[in-house]
A and B are shown apart, each in its own frame.
Chain A
Amino acid sequence: MATRPGSPASPRPSVPAPASPRPRRPFRDNPLQVLLGIFALVLALAGMMLLLNRSSQLAPDFLSEFVLYSLSVVDLTMLVGLVFVLARSVVKMLVERKRGLPFARFRAKLVFLLLGMTLIPAVLVLLVGSQLIFNSVDRWFNQPMDEMLDSAQRIASDYYHDRQRQVSDETARLARSLAATDLATSDLRVVRDAVAGSVTDQRLTLVEVYRLAPGADGLPQPVPVVDVASAAAGPVKTRDTSERLAARAASGQPDAWMREPLDNGGELIRAAAVVRKADGPATGVVVGSVQLTGEMAARARRMTKAYESYTQLRVFKPALTGVYLSFFLMVTLMILVSATWMGLYLAKRITRPVQLLAAAAREIGAGHFEHRVERETVDEFGSLVDSFNTMADELEASRRALEQSSADLERKHAEVEDRRRFTEAVLDRVATGVITIGADGRIGILNPAAAKLLGLDAGAAGRPAEDVFGSGELKPLAELASAPYVAGKAWPAQDIVLNRDGREVQLALAATPLHGDSRRLEGRVLVVDDVTPLIRAQKVAAWREVARRLAHEIKNPLTPIQLCAQRLQRQFAAAPAPVRELVDECTGTIVGEVEALKTLVDEFSQFARMPSPRRVPTDVHRLISSTLGLYEGLFAHIRIETLYAVSLPAVRLDPDQIRRVVINLIDNAIEALNQRGLVVVETQHAAAGAIRIIIADDGPGIAPEERDKLFMPYYSTKKRGSGLGLAIVRRIVAEHGGSVEVGANEPRGTRFTIELPCGEGETPAGTEIV
């Protein structure tokens, strides 16, 4: 069982986890490897048993050299391995206990319990078994057996020694008997007779006589002279061995005797004796042999072989004991290693699923909901793992739903936020004032246009509408904000007039209810529109109509009146002087007034029939300069100065109409200066895409309350004038898409500001045609 991310242990759908390399399974969790291990163990045990069974047939040397070495190495390896595994397990358990892993204490107890349960009997068996081995080995090499084999070997050895001494003595006697015989020249019969008696008396089985002759190397070499053999001797061995023995004796080596096995299973015990003359020099060698029968020799050999085997075995007694003890120790170590491994395996088997579940719970607690525990068993732990994985699946699904909801909410929030930003942008830019008032009567939104129109600051937002609009002018707003709401019935629109810097501002108010989801009134929206320009335009249109009708109605009778007056003047040219003077004065007055009326009517007519401007790219500076040239030298004490902006773009305008505007304003300024003063004509860059023409004087100025009326038709502060000049100025400027404002000049005087749009692609100043 192992933890895995996103395991398909459960049939319910699960989130595919990122692919990760499958960890190598430990040996103990691989059934095939465990089976192979057990098989290898059984095989090793079988091999050991086989070796143990055949140990009696193996050479002690092999046992002590190879087997003991191998067993010792294996024992040492297992011992070191066992100590290592135990030490590792102890350290691991201590670490696990320190880290507070679940079941660590239980695992430690289980392992030590199993180890103890195995260790105590195993050690006891080892001790008892070792003692048994010691006793058994000691029993093999017990005292009676030692004495019996030693005695048997001594019997055989003594027998051989006796026979060897007999042969040596008899051979020496024969050599002495031949001392006076010249072996090189004597009759062979004499020699044969001298030695035949020993054979005849069966003291020897075979007698061979050699004479010594100088060899090639200067050393004496035995040369066969005569040999006498018993009839019972049968086919006796070759002469080679007796010649070698004779040579050894001739060379002076002591202890010249030997054994020679025969083909019939018997043996020859041979001895050599040197034949010496009385004065000392060696003349020959006698080799005497006694034949031992096959049965006798075999018995002696068997006794010797048994003795040697026994003593050799006793030599290897420590090694053999070591071999059997090593076997025993190996089995004990195998049991201990197996018990340790089994203890660890069982402990792991029992505690691992719980540890894995605990680890998986921690992972899920840390937010890794895709973590799963792989089921590997079909027992209760497997069911527990299934339940855990099911819980993890459900947790993951819930978390995914939550994440989806969160994502939806975030998306909606983003949409709302976008909408809010869009609304705020619109409200910031729109010229219409918008005010929202909540159900609690407090101002929610107060856009800049509303603040500007109503003369409020941004801090008004959030305050009660009643407090903000409590002043006299704004009272209608307060009433509208608190007006009771009747379902399905809108509040009536209102117009109010505010005074802003001496100007009257006409505002149109409208209120709209704000409904919530339950159609419940949650507030209201007040919309404030500045209708002053509209009303002004309406007034201008009305005046234009009046002017047109007036011009039409008045102009027609003026010419007959003038003609009649001139006729009367001609008729009374011959009349008496008092009459003529009266007529001239009256007709002159009539003609003059008619002329004045004509002029007035022309102006009215011109105001009413103002033609559309014919716009051409125009250099404003040149236009102004040429216009100002008309005033040169006309007024001695009036100074006209220009203050031009740098690089003023060319503007598409009607030069004649704008010239008229400039003339009209300069005329007004000069008139206001009363023949003395300063008029400044200034040009400026206005906001993007506009220029500004300012005409200022340092005259007495105009009262603020009269400034707005100046542009109304038929309004004049002068004694003489139609009152249409500034109305025409405003009309021309308006026809050009611009605006004209009047204000106070600093430090004194009046200042008219004309703002004209210049648009993109205007030809720069200096390149203008006009």
Chain B
Amino acid sequence: MPGRLLAIVLCAVLAESGGDRGVDVGAVARDGRVYVSSSASEGLMRDLDQPIQAGLSTTITYDADLREEVGIWFDRTIASATVDASVQYDTLTRRYQLSRSVDGRIGDSKVTEDKAEVKRFALGFDRLPLFSTGDLAPNGEYYVRVRVRTRPRVTFFFWPWGRDAASGIARFTFIP
């Protein structure tokens, strides 16, 4: 039992240590919605380039949480949303099939041969109205946390626990 516990703790520590990559996050509350922008680091794209070029269906998932800080306790999550950016490269036609969904609903889809556009599409999104401001208190301090994960996972050699995890936050004051 102590051995198993040690293994779990070790895994948790190592998994947490992989999340040092930053994600630029922006959040603006306007017109009853919270618009979120997110941009992952270029390093993530470098890791994903190989699976994309191999024709693997690659998905970058952005888990966005609208949260409120709570004193000395865990922060409160007000709402959550998931943005998936999928890239499928056709090696025969050399074109990229791009699609983006918000909470499972397809929001954008395109086909392109431009690799730079693929990068822009995959590494972030701009001003997506992910949350309603209905639950926010006027002049309240909130923040949006965005965590990024990929599929297929980008792993260390011999160590399957996350090299792809990254996260970032953006704080804002809700002024109705």
Q: Hey, which bits of chain A sit against chain B, CB under 8 A?
A: 61, 64-65, 68-69, 72-73, 76-77, 80-81, 83-84, 153, 156-157, 160-161, 164, 255, 259, 300-301, 304, 307-308, 311-312, 314-316, 318-319, 321-322, 325-326
Contacts and interface: CB of A to CB of B under 8 A. Distances in A.
Interface residues of B, number: 29
A80 B153 contact: no
Given A80-B6, A153-B91, A312 B160 contact: no
Nearest to A74: B7
Contacts of A300: 92
A318 B50 CA distance: 13
Nearest to A71: B160
Interface string B132-160: 00000000000000000000110111111
Contacts of A161: 93-94
B51 interface: yes
A259 B93 contact: yes
Interface stretch (B24-32, B53-61, B118-126): B53-61
B108 interface: no
A201 to B, nearest CB: 25
B94 A81 contact: no
Contact of A321 (B50, B153, B157): B157
Interface of B: 2-4, 6-7, 10-11, 50-51, 53-56, 91-94, 111-113, 152-153, 155-161
B155 A315 contact: no
Contact of A80 (B3, B91, B152, B160): B3
Contacts of B10: 76, 80
Contacts of B160: 64-65, 68-69, 72, 319, 322
Nearest to A310: B54
Contacts of B6: 80, 84
10 contacts: A64-B152, A80-B3, A83-B3, A255-B113, A308-B55, A308-B91, A314-B50, A314-B54, A319-B155, A322-B159
A301 B90 CA distance: 11
Nearest to A259: B93
Question: SS class of chain A's interface: helix, strand, loop or mixed?
Answer: helix
B11 A64 contact: no
Given A72-B158, A72-B161, A84-B6, 7 more contacts: A69-B160, A73-B7, A76-B11, A255-B112, A259-B93, A314-B54, A318-B157
A141 to B, nearest CB: 12
A160 B4 CA distance: 55
Contacts of B91: 153, 157, 304, 307-308, 311
Candidate in A77, A315, A326 with the most chain B CB atoms within 10 angstroms: A315
A579 to B, nearest CB: 155
A301 B92 CA distance: 8
A63 to B, nearest CB: 10
Contacts of B156: 318
Q: What are the 7 tightest A-B residue pairs by CB atom distance, in nearest-first order?
A: A311-B54, A80-B3, A308-B55, A318-B157, A81-B3, A312-B54, A76-B7
A314 B112 CA distance: 25
Contacts of B54: 308, 311-312, 314-315
B56 A84 contact: no
A23 to B, nearest CB: 21
Given A76-B10, A160-B93, A319-B160, A64 B3 contact: no
B92 A64 contact: no
A568 B161 CA distance: 170
A73 B10 CA distance: 11
Contact of B92 (A68, A72, A76, A160): A160
Candidate in B6, B153, B156, B160 with the most chain A CB atoms within 10 angstroms: B160
Contacts of B11: 73, 76
Nearest to B95: A255
Nearest to B52: A315
B15 to A, nearest CB: 11
Contacts of B152: 61, 64-65, 315-316
A77 B50 contact: no
Given A64-B152, A304-B91, A315-B50, A322 B3 contact: no
B51 A312 contact: yes
A344 to B, nearest CB: 16
Contacts of B159: 72, 322
Candidate in B51, B53, B92, B113 with the most chain A CB atoms within 10 angstroms: B92
Contacts of A325: 158
Nearest to A269: B93
Given A156-B92, A304-B92, A84 B55 contact: no
A77 B1 CA distance: 10
Contact of A312 (B4, B55, B94, B158): B55
Contacts of B56: 61, 312, 315
B157 A311 contact: no
A481 B54 CA distance: 133
Contacts of A156: 92
Contact of B4 (A72, A80, A164, A259): A80
Contacts of B161: 72
A49 to B, nearest CB: 21
B117 to A, nearest CB: 12
A307 B157 CA distance: 23
A133 to B, nearest CB: 11
Given A308-B55, A315-B152, A84 B3 contact: yes
B160 to A, nearest CB: 5
Nearest to B58: A315
Contacts of B93: 157, 160-161, 164, 259
A304 B3 CA distance: 48
A64 B94 contact: no
Contacts of B7: 73, 76-77, 80
A138 to B, nearest CB: 13
B92 A84 contact: no
A81 to B, nearest CB: 4
A318 B3 contact: no
B55 A311 contact: yes
Nearest to A317: B157
A92 to B, nearest CB: 15
A307 B89 CA distance: 13
A83 B53 CA distance: 43
A322 B2 contact: no
A232 B156 CA distance: 54
Contacts of A77: 3-4, 7
A646 B3 CA distance: 97
A77 B91 CA distance: 42
Contacts of B153: 64-65
A90 to B, nearest CB: 15
B111 to A, nearest CB: 8
B3 A315 contact: no
Given A153-B91, A304-B91, A64 B155 contact: yes
A157 B3 contact: no
Contacts of A259: 92-93
B153 to A, nearest CB: 7
A64 B160 CA distance: 8
Given A64-B153, A80-B3, A322-B160, A311 B92 contact: no
A72 B159 CA distance: 7
Given A72-B160, A80-B7, A318 B55 contact: no
A80 B53 CA distance: 39
Contact of B94 (A76, A157, A301, A321): A157
Contacts of A83: 3
Nearest to B92: A304
Nearest to A76: B7
Contacts of B51: 312, 315
Nearest to A68: B160
Contacts of A301: 92
A68 B152 CA distance: 13
Contacts of B53: 311
A209 B112 CA distance: 25
A302 to B, nearest CB: 11
A80 B7 CA distance: 7
A307 B94 CA distance: 13
